[in-house]
């Protein structure tokens, strides 16, 4: 392959910088060999080392959490910005051959930056950036789409609606989230009470496995196909694309956003909301965002204003919702509304892949029994009046979420009333701000203990939280016994099956990070 002298020079410099890197296992990384191997199969212009001018801008292009670009964070040895499946296969084969691990990045929204960074200085890895693998092709006659992992949710929503205004897709409320990480971790959003998770609508996928083979649903087998729909893709391979079922939405939907201050009985309203929101008709999703002194009740109704007003009057009259609160629009515009809290922007904003960068720490939980009003009151008094208070997001389950068995996919949290997130984001640089925010989130989370999920205290894997535990090695592979500590909190009884799948598809534990699924030891199979 022809190579410009400048690129050759860059690669040479990179070889010098990187040649001493080691993987976290005992096998030393042969970074020189890795780069040589990559260069034989991939255009050098797609290989970005720290010595290339493009490295930093590419790295930062889809970093969502500034905590993971602070000094002291381990950055990738290099980034391969693939443009075709063969590049992914070659990177996996070269990585295996030369003991360089790989982290896959689709949209870069991992709460703990695992797709592009590590806080462990012993981790050495290359990043496979899938941002260019983002084609979306819609088969309108079958209500299906093939979507590349590098596409964003916003691009998928826009393309679905452009094909037919009555096509929607159940996925998250943030349009810049990447399809690759989101679908492989589950994918919850405003349509989930009606249609379940994104992963529930996946009907096929193309994966590169640890041998560098290109597999689809029939060639990967049912266990791997089960694991990548909620178990987190990073442990099992690289998912290149997904075939999904598009779901039916009406041409016109209705949204509202109703704010109630604390002194306007916001706590009483939240108390009631806990009991009614998971039992509302599936066409209605009603979430609550709480910040400082107010609660914001935000709804998506798959129907017109009249039907929404009738339902709210019958089921939640205390909120005082009226026709004046209704905003009717297309479903695709409702996805704009859910992110920007206004539908005044055109649907084209969904195509904007740029991220707002901030520091981020999230802790999340699930609630099985309504939290008593007095407890909500005291949490609010103790925590929400502080200037460093996080945004609290309450998202109801019920409906279709509840009717899918917990073992149908790796996502086991189907029976809870709602999910609870402390979403702390800030722009201020410096250690003092960081420590204040982290201690707020951790302290508030601790205080919530009596009222939330137990045995284990559960977490949704797409709301990654390294506080719940990280991997340790046993010999050359990740310890199953140690990983159970965090793994059963994400996956409950499904964790063991995920580990069994890992043993089948990646027994050498090539696809490894701080919270990757370990292989199941032979004695436990
Ligand atoms: P990223 O590229 O960082 O990947 C996340 C993880 O998946 C990494 O471990 C990565 O290696 C792995 N991975 C990525 N692509 C892969 C692939 N193709 N094959 C194999 N492994 C792959 N969630 C939700 O359910 N509902 C919501 O409304 C929101 N909202 C939201 C808002 C904001 C601002 C953020 C930052 C996050 C969310 N999320 C969310 C969480 C989101 O679903 C989760 O972080 C996803 O994993 C992000 O996927 P990305 O591809 O963007 O992340």
Closest protein CA for atom 33 of ligand 1? 174
Does ligand 1 lie within 6 Å of residue 113's CB atom?
no
Q: Output the CA 462–ligand 1 centroid distance in Å.
A: 6
Cα 335 from chain centroid? 17
Q: Is the CB of 192 under 6 A from ligand 1?
A: no
Per-residue pLDDT, 73 = 93
Is the model's pLDDT at 287 over the cut of 70?
yes
The confidence score (pLDDT) of residue 122 equals: 85
CA 170 – ligand 1 centroid, Å: 15
Q: Looking at the predicted structure, is the pLDDT value of residue 112 above 60?
A: yes
What number is the average pLDDT over the span 94-119?
A: 97
Q: Rounded to the nearest 5 degrees, what angle is found at the Cα of 97, between the Cα atoms of 96 and 103?
A: 30
| Distance from Cα 110 to the centre of ligand 1, integer Å | 5
37, 120, 48: which is closest to 82 by C-alpha? 48
pLDDT at 15 over 60: no
| Residue 211 CB partners (closer than 8 Å, separation 6+) | 92, 93, 96
Predicted pLDDT of residue 476 = 92
Tokens of 338: 């859910």
- From the CB of 108, is ligand 1 less than 6 Å away? yes
Note the pLDDT of residue 523.
82
Q: Helix, strand, or coil here: 15? A: helix
State mean pLDDT over 32-48: 97
Q: Of 255, 383, 381, which Cα lies nearest the Cα of 325?
A: 255
Average of per-residue pLDDT across 460-470 = 98
**Given ligand 1 and candidates 62, 150, 182, 424, which is best to mutate, with the most ligand atoms within 8 Å of its CB?**
182
> Does the C-beta of 419 come closer than 6 Å to ligand 1?
no
185 CA to centre of ligand 1 in angstroms: 7
Beta bridge partners, 205, equal 242
Evaluate: CB of 178 within 6 angstroms of ligand 1: yes
The confidence band for 11, taking pLDDT boundaries of 50, 70 and 90, is very low
The CB of 233 under 6 Å from ligand 1? The reply is yes
**Which of 108, 181, 198 to probe ligand 1 with, by most ligand atoms within 8 A of CB?**
181
pLDDT of residue 271: 98
pLDDT tens-place string over residues 126-168? 999 999 999 999 999 999 999 999 999 999 999 999 999 999 9
* Euclidean distance between CA atoms 439 and 380, whole angstroms: 16
Q: 71 or 2: whose pLDDT is higher?
A: 71
CB-ligand 1 contact for 231 (6 Å cutoff): no
**Ligand 1 lined by 176 (C-beta under 6 Å):** no
Q: Which atom of ligand 1 is nearest to the CA of 464?
A: 45
Q: How far apart are CA 299 and CA 312, in angstroms?
A: 10
Q: In which band, very low, low, confident or very high, does the pLDDT at 12 lie, cut at 50, 70 and 90?
A: very low
357 pLDDT above the threshold of 90:
no
Bridge partners of 365, per DSSP, are 420
Any atom of ligand 1 within 6 Å of the Cβ of 105: yes
Closest atom of ligand 1 relative to the 185 alpha carbon: 47
């Amino acid at each position: 392959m022809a190579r410009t002298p400048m690129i050759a020079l860059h690669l040479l410099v990179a070889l010098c910088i990187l040649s001493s890197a080691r993987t976290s296992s005992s096998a030393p990384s042969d970074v020189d060999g890795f780069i040589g191997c990559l260069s034989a199969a991939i255009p050098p212009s797609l290989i970005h080392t720290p010595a290339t001018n493009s490295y930093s801008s590419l790295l930062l292009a889809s970093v969502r959490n500034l905590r993971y670009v602070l000094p002291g964070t381990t950055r990738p040895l290099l980034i391969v910005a693939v443009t075709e499946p063969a590049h992914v296969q070659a990177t996996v084969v070269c990585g295996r051959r030369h003991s360089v691990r790989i982290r896959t990045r689709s949209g870069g929204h991992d709460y703990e930056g695992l797709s592009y960074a590590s806080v462990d200085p012993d981790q050495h890895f290359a990043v496979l950036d899938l941002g260019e693998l983002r084609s979306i092709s819609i088969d309108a006659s079958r209500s299906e789409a093939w979507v590349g992992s590098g596409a964003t949710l916003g691009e998928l929503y826009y393309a679905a609606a452009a094909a037919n205004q009555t096509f929607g897709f159940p996925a998250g409320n943030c349009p810049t989230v990447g399809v690759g990480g989101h679908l492989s971790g589950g994918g919850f959003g405003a349509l989930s009470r009606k249609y379940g998770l994104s992963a529930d609508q996946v009907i096929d996928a193309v994966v590169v496995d640890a041998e560098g083979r290109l597999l689809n649903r029939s060639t990967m087998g049912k266990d791997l196909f089960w694991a990548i729909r909620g178990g987190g893709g990073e442990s099992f391979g690289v998912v290149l694309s997904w075939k999904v079922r598009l779901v039916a939405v009406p041409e016109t939907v209705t949204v509202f956003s109703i704010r109630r201050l604390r002194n306007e009985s916001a706590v009483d309203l939240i108390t009631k909301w806990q009991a009614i929101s998971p039992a509302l008709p599936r066409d209605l999703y009603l979430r609550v965002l709480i910040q400082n002194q107010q609660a914001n009740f935000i709804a998506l109704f798959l129907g017109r204003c009249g039907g929404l007003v009738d339902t709210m009057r019958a089921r939640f009259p205390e909120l005082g919702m009226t026709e004046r609160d209704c905003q009717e629009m297309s479903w695709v515009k409702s996805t704009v509304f859910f992110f920007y809290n206004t539908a005044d922007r055109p649907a084209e904003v969904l195509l904007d892949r740029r991220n707002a960068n901030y520091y981020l720490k999230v802790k999340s939980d699930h609630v099985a029994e309504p939290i008593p009003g007095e407890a909500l009151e005291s949490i609010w008094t103790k925590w929400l009046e502080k200037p460093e208070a996080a945004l609290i997001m309450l998202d109801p389950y019920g409906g279709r979420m509840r009717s899918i068995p917990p073992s149908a996919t790796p996502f086991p949290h189907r029976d809870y009333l709602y999910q609870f997130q402390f979403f702390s984001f800030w722009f201020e640089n410096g250690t003092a701000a960081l420590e204040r925010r982290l201690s707020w989130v951790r302290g508030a989370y601790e205080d919530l203990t009596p009222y939330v999920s137990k045995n284990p205290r559960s977490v949704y894997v797409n709301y990654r939280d390294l506080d719940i535990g990280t991997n340790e090695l046993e010999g050359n592979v990740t310890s199953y016994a140690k990983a159970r500590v965090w793994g059963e909190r994400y996956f409950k009884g499904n964790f063991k099956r995920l580990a069994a799948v890992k043993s089948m598809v990646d027994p050498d534990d090539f696809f490894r990070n701080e919270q990757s699924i370990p292989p199941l030891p032979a004695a436990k199979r």
